[in-house]
Structure 1
Amino acid sequence: MQKPDSATIPQAPGVYLYKDDRGRVIYVGKARILRRRVLSYFRPEGLPAKTRAMLAHAASLEYLTTTSEKEALLLEASLIKKYRPHYNIVLRDDKQYVLFRLNLKHPFPRLETVRRARRDGARYFGPFTSALAARETWKILHRAFALRRCSDRAMKNRVRPCLYHFMGQCPAPCMGLITPQAYHEAVHKVCELLQGRAVPLLRELRAEMDQAAEELEFEKAAILRDQIRAVECTVERQAAVLPGGGDMDAIGLFPAGKGLALGIVFVRNGAVTDGRAFYWPGLSFEDAPELLWSFVSQYYSQATPPPRVLLPWLPPDLDSGLDDNADSEAQEPAQAARHGQDLPAAPDRVEEAAQAANGALLSGRELLEQTLADRRGGPVRIVPPQHAADNRLIDIAQSNAREEARRCQNQDELSILERLAAALRLPAAPRRIECVDVSHTGGRQTRVGLVVFEDDRPSRSQYRAFAMPDSGDDYATLHGWIARRLESGPPWPDLLLIDGGRAQLAVIQRALAEAGQEGLFSLAAIAKARDEHGQADRRAGNVADRIFVPGRANPLPLREGGPELLFLQNVRDATHRFAIGRHRRARSGAALSGELMRLPGIGPATARMLWEKFESVEAMRAATLADLRSLPGIGKARAAILLEKLKNLS
């Protein structure tokens, strides 16, 4: 890409977007001063290899200005998530983790699982990266400490206690069978446990159990014994690392041979509660500074940050790495401002220099800390290790990163089909994959598109479109399509993928069973992820589709953005495009046939014959007399009449 004219670049904070020759965004960056930052990419030497590769593919540059650098930082994270540029370090697994929520202002709080913390005065505990582990903990807590499970609306409308009350797992506050004070005693114990204060809680529970036993209240003592066991079971999953307590996230890096891995552990009240690891192939240790800053910015744009984020070291600001010349240019006006000299620079440079002299400009770290503090509603510090306990946490995070790198590199040695077989629990690698999708408009011109992949490559010569009876019932259409597919015979697929959810999968299973062909081939269904309102999430950049297989109620736990899920999404998208294309073609054909039959002397049979021969209005209008005479049953005289009518066809 050629160096842009400096006069065309704004001298304001904002975001810049490099695009390739097809208009796709390949890199997004933010800058305190756009002109200085962009021009620093075109200095003669000293650019990292990844930056040189990006410039070689860039064809154009666009800018979005903001009123402050903090707004630019937030906009950058939003655009990276939206476009997922090739040359940015993108956090693929950016899902919301599970949190526990307790609204202590309610007279009878309910322990809820949520994905997002809000500033509503409630207490939040977590995060839990595994929804299954969070659910198990939630069940243990409810069995040990009787709390209500129903929603506020259901609680208000109850006329008798629920089943959990008779199981001893709900005190029935809906019926007034417990006072708020007594209910909050159980809530207090749950809070103590979730805050990591298990030792004093266990001591208190054992004392209450001993006292109940001495007073011969054996039923109460048994309940307390079960609570002690539940607390111990929960505590076993946590490792104490900070005797004094405290909340923080610790991040560790591990440079593998073919990429860079990052691990993060969550410490709440001095105990490690959970952790995650990520791997980026193709990155080297040279990319570590950008990875650390980019990860913190993207990750905490979705998750609530703790008061302390621990990095293995404090990398330099990215601006300082690419903008050395610009920074040195800024020093002279700043020094002049300190000594009261005249400033020959432009007004915006004068203002910047004055701010620098007064210490008003924030470093990248300080800016990021302010942004995270706004999200948390309290101070957030990004710090390197301060003592031995911090180093121990970094070691734990680095160990997780090392294991993730080893796992990913081992997986890379397997083919995508072998990995897919392992993910879907298939008996062997699916060499032939067929995928189906139903397309129609209001139940008319219904088509079932069938796409074939052989050895992980599309086999377009085997694509087929099945014309089905008009119906708005996709389930009935799929049921009828199975009979058509069985009639067509082998080769049978190793895996049939259905564009749909559990219901579509169940219909295919039932149709095969009714035909006596159950188990003829493996089945799976792919459905869009659900958003916070329970609707199909069709937002751009969504990578969280769900995969269902027979005999399992919940979707498979495939990693979002993982190669197995991305491959299945590619197969589904190809099928979706093919089915829609054939449906549109059928719809156009129906409309064209209707237009043709409006012409005198053309009936349904002739209209269909013309459509099958020419397939479009343009082709019919361009037809010659010889073309029309080649149609069966069309003589010279009738061909001349048809030619005249078709020339006038609009």
Structure 2
Amino acid sequence: MKPFRAKEYPDCPGTYLMKDERGRVIYVGKAKVLRKRLASYFQEPDRLPRKTRVMMDKVWSIETLCTETEKEAFLLENSLIKKHRPRYNIILRDDKSYVLFKLDKRHPFPRLSMTRRVVQDGSTYFGPFTSAVAARETWKLLNRLFPLRKCKQTTFNNRVRPCLQYNIGRCLGPCVYDIPRQEYQEVVRQVELFLTGRSKELLRRLRADMQAASEDLRFEDAARLRDQIQAVEQTVEQQVAVLPGGKDRDVLGLGRTVGGVALGLLFVRQGQLLDQKSFFWAEEDGTDELGLQEETASAQSTAVEEAQEVLRSFVLQFYSPGRYIPERIVLPFAMEDAVLEDILSERRGGPVRLATAHGPQERKLVSLAETNAVQAGDRARKTVEPPLERLQDRLGLSQLPERIEAVDASHFGGQGMVVGQVVFENGRPHKEAYRIYAFPELEGAADDYAALQGWARRRLRSGPPWPDLIVVDGGKGQLQAVQKGLNEGQEAGLAADSFALAALAKGERRGGELEERVFRPGRKNPVALRPGSAELLLLQHIRDSVHRFVLSRQRRTRRAKGLDSRLEELPGVGPRTAHLLWNHFGTLERMCQATEAELEALPGIGAAKAAQLRRGLASLSPGTPVDHDEQGGNTA
């Protein structure tokens, strides 16, 4: 990169994008004053943290975007990080919302439902639960203990007689019977007490109700309340009280681990530890990404600022619109956060306070969050990075394949030609980057190679971020087609040898296992990867993902064109059998070519049904879908 000249950069708040020699955005940041912030990157190298030094060695250009206010810079930075997913930014890869329980108190007879999104509509929310399985188990318990209505509003309005839930004592039946609102509201109150951890008050109410039922000789009601009390007591034994005061708060812990950042998040609701989640971001260079053990005071000061940026970036991404935000978020260290508090308060619809730990209990929780995160980070490195490192070594790649793009061509007898593309980053799917490329100009051609060449040309035109490795579902022919398309795309300023390529093809079955072969450009023989090795399993997972992705698209097309109905018109073929046949054979032509023995080998299909299917399939025209296999390649 050319020397830094301060006057070339604006003196305003905004964001900056650092790009490498291939034009990929590798870091996005924001600043109150862009010129001042960028100048801090161009100090003497020994005055910078190691991570920053490594990053700056790869920066070839810097683009700046001015904003009116620092708040706008915050929001623009967050948007650009999500769009470009830069290599050196903290990025939430698992950014789905967690499960919450929603109690709609606007209705005279509220219903408890499960949701992943918070809407400011007057409802009360409880959670979050990071595990959907745990949330469902709690949901079952709530349905068993508290007889609230389960039906949605449309069903509630139109029901004329009570449902099964009423008959088994799990609903009071307000949809049909004239239930006193006071009686129903008492059950609502019990649910709120249970979900907010106020078990003592709940048990007191239940015991009083049981005593009253016993005195009134309502022994069935008394027995039901007794069982309810026992279930609540068993649940309470598993709850851990960690803070007094009974307020909701999230506790963050940030720690160092070998080659990355570890962040822990504890969800405390009504003083009890409800759940926890850990995050880890690997740093390939093996550096201490937080940089808090730098040798110079200047480097350490800059590292502290970067640690604060890590925390700000996480908070802004994690507490996105529609996610539950508590009124207090406990941070592991102090930082200027007025703008961030303002943004979170707007998203919550009420005040949000960002503060450091207050008192020994909160400090203990911050330490616990950090410990959990570091341990999770150590486990993550063992399961994610080694396969990538071994894949780099076995395939002879010049750099770690952090971003892998895989492609597969598919069509029906030359009709509906498409190429599916999936993207994996650091060994995990990045589903927002999945794409389907349609090629209407190839209608009737049934040419996978032309489609793959076309994909390569269009991919070059779409621009960065560029992949570190392209995986093709197929053999040498498919690999050469992609390579040819890349060579034809020289106008993008990138030649085919700018990209690492590999094709994964199924070979012969040996010893009961299907041998996989990996082809690389310039090699006559395939690369031998040990069956069951982590690097081969990763490649297979990526190849299978793109295969499933493009097949799912073709299934939708198939349904729209009525191909499913053609199968289901055959004797003995219903939706389940049709789904089984499509999943196994992929195309109608393969089904028609299948022998009775192959059909009988499918689960749930015996000899008689296999013979029936064989006769039915023979009656269909075999010219509908076509699937080319090259060197054992498998495309659909």
C-alpha deviation, 1:248, in angstroms: 0.8
1:304 matched to 2:318? The reply is no
Q: CA deviation at 1:510?
A: 6.0
Q: Which runs of 5+ in 2 are unaligned?
A: 292-302, 392-405, 418-442, 453-469, 480-504, 517-539, 556-575, 586-593, 604-627
Which residue matches 2:242? 241
Q: 1:314-334 CA distances to partner (integer Å, 9 max, x unpaired)?
A: 2x5xxxxxxxxxxxxxxxxxx
Matches within 5 A, 1:279-298: 279-282=280-283, 283-286=288-291, 288-298=307-317
Q: Residue by residue, what CA displacement relative to the aligned partner does 1:498-529 show, whole Å, maximum 9, x if unpaired?
A: 4156989733566598534459xxxxxxxxxx
Work out the CA distance in 2 between the residues paired with 1:173 and 1:463.
67
Residue 355 of structure 2: aligned partner:
383
Tell me, yes or no, if the aligned pair for 2:265 and 2:276 is still in contact at 8 Å.
yes
> Which residue is equivalent to 1:13?
13
Correspondent of 2:475 among 461, 470, 478 = 461
Q: Are positions 1:515 and 2:612 aligned together?
A: no
> 2:509, 2:515 within 8 Å by CA — same for their partners in 1?
no
Could you say what secondary structure the match of 2:337 adopts?
helix
Contact 1:438 1:446 in 2 (8 A): no
> CA shift at 1:412, angstroms?
5.1
Change (3 A) 1:233 1:135: farther
- 2:514 equivalent in structure 1: 492
Match of 2:396 in 1: none
How does 1:92-103 map onto structure 2 within 5 Å? 92-103=93-104
Residue 165 of structure 1: how far off its partner (Å): 1.8
Aligned identity (percent) is 44
Shift, 1:74, TM fit: 1.4
- Contact 1:17-1:61 at 8 Å conserved across structures: yes
TM alignment of 1:351-430, pairs within 5 A: 364-411=336-383, 415=387
Structure 1 pair 463–113 and aligned structure 2 pair: CA distance change class (3 A): farther
Tell me the equivalent position of 2:59.
58
Letter in 2 for 1:382: L
1:492 partner amino acid: L
1:258 aligned residue: 259
What are the Cα deviations for residues 173-192 of structure 1, in whole angstroms up to 9, with x where unaligned? 22134233322111111111
TM-aligned CA distance change 1:307 to 1:6, over 3 Å: same
On the 8 A contact 1:304/1:375 being kept in 2, the answer is: no
Q: Secondary structure at the match of 1:156?
A: helix
Deviation at 1:276, TM superposition (A): 0.3
Distance 1:274 1:219, change over 3 A: same
Contact 1:509–1:518 (CA under 8 A) maintained in structure 2:
no
Q: 2:88 is paired with a residue of what secondary structure?
A: coil
Partner of 2:194: 193
CA deviation after TM superposition for structure 1 residue 77, in Å: 1.3
Shift, 1:221, TM fit: 1.3
Which residues in structure 2 correspond to 1:535-546 (within 5 Å)?
none
Call closer, same or farther: CA 1:226–1:100 in 2, change over 3 Å.
same
Q: Deviations over 1:240-271 (max 9, x none)?
A: 11132111111123322333322111001100
How do residues 120-269 of structure 1 correspond to structure 2 at under 5 angstroms? 120-269=121-270
Q: Supply the distance in 2 between the matched residues of 1:130 and 1:417 (Cα, whole angstroms).
A: 30
User: Taking structure 1 as the reference length, what is the TM-score of the superposition?
Assistant: 0.60
What do residues 255-314 of structure 1 show as CA deviations (whole Å, max 9, x unaligned)? 223333221110011001011011222343416433323222221235332121112222
Tell me the number of residue pairs that the alignment of Structure 1 and Structure 2 aligns. Answer: 441
Q: Which residue of 1 aligns with 2:2?
A: 2
C-alpha separation between the residues in 2 aligned to 1:25 and 1:486? 36
In structure 2, the CA distance between the partners of 1:53 and 1:436, relative to structure 1 (3 Å rule), is closer
Question: What is the SS of the residue equivalent to 1:148?
Answer: coil
Distance 1:492 1:447, change over 3 A: farther
SS at match of 2:475: helix
Q: Is the 8 A contact 1:278 1:401 kept in 2?
A: yes
Confirm whether residue 77 of structure 1 aligns to residue 78 of structure 2: yes
Q: Please tell me whether the aligned partners of residues 436 and 448 of structure 1 are also in contact (alpha carbons under 8 angstroms).
A: no
Q: TM-score, normalised by structure 2?
A: 0.62
Amino acid at match of 1:398: E
Residue type of the partner of 1:83? H
Q: CA deviation at 1:418?
A: 12
Counterpart in 2 of 1:272? 273
Partner Cα separation in structure 1 for residue 448 and residue 228 of structure 2:
56
Please state whether the residue corresponding to 1:30 is helix, strand or coil: strand
Cα separation, partners in 2 of 1:396 and 1:487, compared to 1, 3 Å: closer
**CA positional deviation for 1:372:** 1.5
What CA distance in whole angstroms lies between the structure 1 residues aligned with 2:583 and 2:376? Answer: 37
Corresponding residue SS for 2:57: helix
Gapped runs of 5+ residues in structure 1?
317-363, 420-433, 466-484, 520-574, 584-650
Who is 2:91 aligned against? 90
Query: Is residue 105 of structure 1 aligned with residue 106 of structure 2?
Result: yes
CA contact (8 A) 2:128 2:324 kept: no
Relative distance call for 1:122 and 1:10 in structure 2 (3 A) is: same
Partners of 2:446 and 2:170 lie apart in 1 by 52
CA distance in structure 2 between the aligned counterparts of 1:96 and 1:448, rounded to whole angstroms: 42
Deviation at 1:120, TM superposition (A): 1.1
How far apart are 1:161 and its partner, in Å?
2.3
**Equivalent position of 2:402 in the other structure:** none
| 1:284 partner letter | E
Aligned to 1:568: none
CA shift for structure 1 position 112: 1.3
What is the alpha-carbon distance in structure 2 between the residues aligned to residue 250 and residue 97 of structure 1? 16
CA distance in 2, matches of 1:126, 1:4: 49
Q: 1:416 to 1:158 in 2, by over 3 A?
A: farther
Aligned mates of 2:473, 2:170 — CA distance in 1: 57
CA RMSD across the alignment: 3.9
What amino acid is the match of 1:24?
Answer: R
Tell me which amino acid in the other structure corresponds to 2:130.
Answer: T
**AA at the equivalent of 1:377:** G
> Relative to structure 1, is the Cα distance of residues 232 and 438 closer, same or farther in structure 2, using a 3 angstrom cutoff?
farther
| Distance in 2 between residues matched to 1:108 and 1:243, nearest whole Å | 32
Answering whether residue 333 of structure 2 is matched by residue 313 of structure 1, we say yes
SS at match of 1:239: coil
For each residue in 1:77-110, what CA deviation from the matched residue of structure 2 results, as whole angstroms up to 9, or x when unmatched?
A: 1211221100112222221111111121211111
Cα distance in structure 1, aligned partners of 2:446 and 2:151: 44
Query: Secondary structure in 1 aligned to 2:106?
Result: coil
Secondary structure at the counterpart of residue 266 of structure 2: strand
